Amino acid sequence: MAEIILKNVTKEYENGFQAVKNINLEIKDNEFVILVGPSGCGKSTTLRMIAGLEDISDGDLYLDGKRINDVSPQDRDIAMVFQNYALYPHMTVYQNIAYSLKIKKVPKDEIDKRVKDVAASLGLENLLDRRPGQLSGGQKQRVAMGRAIIRHPKAFLMDEPLSNLDAKLRGQMRVEIADLYRRLNTTFIYVTHDQTEAMTLGTKIVVMKDGEIMQIDNPTNLFNYPNNKFVAGFIGTPTMNFFEGEIEEKGDGLILKTRDGFIPLTAEKAAKVREGGWVGKKVTAGIRPEHVELSDQDSAAFRGEVSVFELLGSNAIIYTQCQDDRIIMNTDQTQYQEHGKEIFLKVKEAKLHLFDPETERTITN
Amino acid sequence: MSAKRKYKRRYDSLPTVLLFVLPALIPLIVFWIYPILRTIYLSFTNWDYISPTYKLVGIKNYLSLFRNPRFYEALWHTLVFTAGTLFPTIILGLVLALLLVKNFRGSGILKFIIFSPWITPTVAISIVWSWIYKTDGGIANTILTSLGMSPLKWIASSDTAMLSVIIVTIWKSLGYAMIFYLSALEKVPGELYEAGALDGAHGWRQFVDITLPSISPTTFFLTIITMVNSLQAYDQIQVLTQGGPSGSTRTLLYMYYQLGFNEFNMGQATAVAVVMILLTVGLSLIQFKVSEKWVYY
């Protein structure tokens, strides 16, 4: 159990490249924090700085109130699961799991008991004599977790632990990690570029881009109330539709004028738009595919031709090519549309997001 | 598919298979398999290397060889020379690789200098070393005396001749071992060291528990290659000592040369060669067997 605080932490390499730029992050005891973002956003570097595998160029790192910038990795009492598992190939599963205890000169009986307990909890009892080369990806992953668990660390760090597994196994292991978190009841910090993993596992998600934190929030808020266009686009599958429009007065209210039609703004959104002085100005709008619907010509915001109909089982994705934009709609399987057919689309007004086209900050969610 | 048809298909493809295999097989047969078989055959004859005729003499050559103290002396010298070159080459090659694995200013040139003896003909190297080993005015003795030590006779004394030849051989093969170790060390995944750092493995512990096992296939490869090279060492012995003084550097291969080409007893010489083949195969088999315990792929 641990509380980890990063204060104005920066990582700058010798060539001047800043991988992490002045980030502040507070990780409370027992939280499952996910660092998520595209490749090169600095999430792994941040994790490695917490682990002690990378020096911190500037700023402070605290573990339970103690500054640990200069504390060596093994003295931080933190365990890490690596992307490629990093199992010692010449050691058996047993030896891999027991290694850290052996170095600490823990008595053999205790090592044996702890290894067997951990192996039992991860379903590795029958594999203890095998070498990593004889294990499947999922089994290796479990051994890597076993090696971390046995130390009873204050915090678990996981660097894209599922990225080497196939889709089905990834799903299974995700559930196992969630279960492990519940059982161990300790702090988890997990790096991934997969937003599904982020949304399903995390109690707190940190979205990063270009070494900076874009937003820190729980999964629901991140999905419903993104701080900016990047977060809105990064979280959610299929990705959010973005299109340009202009705010205009219509009657008592405001509308977002699109190329093919308009979207009325709810009173709440209209108030925020007026407050920000956006009336008469161009904005970037965003709508999630599940909030797009088929409509008639009169109430349509978009008109376009169906380019792809993708059946995914219970639901289906319709890609519609409009004049300037491609609008994605997530609907149910009964809404089959033929390729090339002209269709009209409207959006759920309450779910519309508006962004500043220059700064990409959210105007209203 | 029936067994007969399967067999027929295999039989049909034989010319095609031969077509692909022959280019490799012909040189192998001409330069390796046939000479070995011929050597084994000659070891049962009394051929003197010059006469066009010879007789089969059964195992007479082997019997007289095994009764000859010179043979056991040469066998012992071979084992001493092999062990004396093998372990230092492996250990020093690894030490050099560990020192040079991190690139620094001039490390490339240093690597090249250490590797260069490997690509220089052994005869040339040995001639230079024969100057170094000169009792009067040789560099080796100049260094010893400047360090306040008494000079040695090096290749001129039966006490130090073997050591001298071993030093030259180590010096020659060191760079080769280093290059292989450099490549092996670079391939050890960084994540293993990081996992080790989190587990608390540092310094010597890290070296023993992570580095050494990770490069064990290279160590095994170098052990076999260095051993075979040592068993086949000839040039340096020929140039530096000619097997002397008083037979102190006569290895089995050198004994073979002396028997065959100085004493014109090709029958016994080839018997020595057969013993060498068996020795090489035997040592290699032992290494392969033992390697199962310490080599991790």
d(CA B266, CA B57): 12
Reading the block at residue A201, the tokens are 């596992």
Residue B164 lies inside a defined structural domain of this protein:
yes
Report the residue of chain A nearest B292, measured CA to CA. Answer: A90
- All residues at 6 or more sequence positions from A359 whose CB lies less than 8 Å from its CB, including other chains: A228
Considering only the beta carbons, identify the residue of B192, B197, B209 that sits closest to A74: B197
Q: Where in chain A is the domain with CATH 2.40.50.140?
A: 241-364
On whether both B231 and B149 belong to a single domain, the answer is yes
Q: CB–CB of A354/A284 below 8 Å?
A: yes
Q: What is the pLDDT of residues B29-44, one digit of tens each?
A: 999 999 999 999 999 9
Question: Is residue A213 over pLDDT 90?
Answer: yes
C-beta atoms of A86 and B192 within 8 A: yes
Residue B137 lies inside a defined structural domain of this protein:
yes
Mean predicted lDDT score pLDDT of chain A: 91
- All residues at 6 or more sequence positions from A224 whose CB lies less than 8 Å from its CB, including other chains: A365
d(CA B67, CA B48): 20
Q: What is the pLDDT of residues A304-353, one digit of tens each?
A: 999 999 998 889 999 999 887 899 999 988 888 888 899 999 999 999 99
Considering only the beta carbons, identify the residue of B191, B199, B210 that sits closest to A74: B199
On whether both B216 and B125 belong to a single domain, the answer is yes
The pLDDT assigned to B5 comes to 63
pLDDT bucket at A4, cuts 50 / 70 / 90: very high
Q: What is the pLDDT of residues A121-164, one digit of tens each?
A: 888 999 999 999 999 988 998 999 999 999 889 999 999 988 88
Residue B35 lies inside a defined structural domain of this protein:
no
Residue B229 parent element (H or E): helix B216-231
The pLDDT assigned to A93 comes to 95
The pLDDT assigned to B182 comes to 95
pLDDT bucket at B4, cuts 50 / 70 / 90: low
On whether both B100 and B18 belong to a single domain, the answer is no
Q: Where in chain A is the domain with CATH 3.40.50.300?
A: 4-234
Q: What is the pLDDT of residues A274-297, one digit of tens each?
A: 999 999 999 999 999 999 999 888
Mean per-residue pLDDT for A207-218? 94
Q: What is the pLDDT of residues A6-33, one digit of tens each?
A: 999 999 999 999 999 999 999 999 999 9
Q: CB–CB of B55/B140 below 8 Å?
A: no
Q: How many helices (H) and strands (E) does chain B have?
A: 16, 0
Sign for the CA dihedral angle at A221, A225, A229, A234 comes to positive
Mean per-residue pLDDT for A155-179? 89
Q: How many domains does chain B have?
A: 2
Phi-psi region at B174: left, alpha or beta (left = phi > 0; alpha = psi -120 to 50): alpha
Worst-scoring range by mean pLDDT, A82-86, A160-164, B4-8, B196-200? B4-8
Q: What is the pLDDT of residues B154-194, one digit of tens each?
A: 888 889 999 999 999 999 999 999 999 999 999 999 999 99
Residue B209 lies inside a defined structural domain of this protein:
yes
Question: Looking at residue B265, which CATH number applies to its domain?
Answer: 1.10.3720.10
The pLDDT assigned to A28 comes to 92
Worst-scoring range by mean pLDDT, A183-187, A220-224, B250-254? A183-187
Range of the domain at B287: 68-294
Sign for the CA dihedral angle at A64, A69, A71, A77 comes to positive
C-beta atoms of B191 and A90 within 8 A: no
DSSP secondary structure, A174-222, as one string:
HHHHHHHHHHH-SEEEEEES-HHHHHHH-SEEEEEETTEEEEEE-HHHH
On whether both B88 and B209 belong to a single domain, the answer is yes
Dmax over Cα atoms in chain A, in whole Å?
81
**Domain A241-364 bears CATH identifier 3.40.50.1980:** no
C-beta atoms of B199 and A82 within 8 A: no
The pLDDT assigned to B3 comes to 58
Mean per-residue pLDDT for B214-238? 92
Mean per-residue pLDDT for A240-259? 91
Mean predicted lDDT score pLDDT of chain B: 90
The pLDDT assigned to B2 comes to 57
Residue B212 lies inside a defined structural domain of this protein:
yes
pLDDT bucket at B7, cuts 50 / 70 / 90: low
Residue B278 lies inside a defined structural domain of this protein:
yes
Mean per-residue pLDDT for A220-234? 94
The pLDDT assigned to A333 comes to 85
Residue B38 lies inside a defined structural domain of this protein:
no
Separation in Å, CA of B91 to nearest CA in chain A: 21
Report the residue of chain A nearest B199, measured CA to CA. Answer: A100
pLDDT bucket at B10, cuts 50 / 70 / 90: low
Question: Which of A179, A177, A187, A112 minimizes the C-alpha distance to A150?
Answer: A112
Question: Is residue B93 over pLDDT 70?
Answer: yes
Sign for the CA dihedral angle at B76, B77, B80, B85 comes to negative
Q: What is the pLDDT of residues B243-272, one digit of tens each?
A: 878 889 999 999 999 999 999 999 999 999
Separation in Å, CA of B24 to nearest CA in chain A: 34
* CATH superfamily to which A4-234 belongs: P-loop containing nucleotide triphosphate hydrolases (3.40.50.300)
Chain B residue numbers with beta carbons less than 8 Å from the beta carbon of A89 are 213-214, 296
Chain A residue numbers with beta carbons less than 8 Å from the beta carbon of B194 are 51, 53, 73, 80, 82, 86
Q: What is the pLDDT of residues A49-107, one digit of tens each?
A: 999 999 999 999 999 999 999 999 988 989 999 988 999 999 999 999 999 999 999 99
The pLDDT assigned to B107 comes to 86
On whether both B22 and B75 belong to a single domain, the answer is no
- CA A328 vs CA A133, A237, A264: distances in Å: 44, 10, 20
Mean per-residue pLDDT for B95-115? 90
Residue B63 lies inside a defined structural domain of this protein:
no
On whether both B238 and B100 belong to a single domain, the answer is yes
The pLDDT assigned to A1 comes to 60
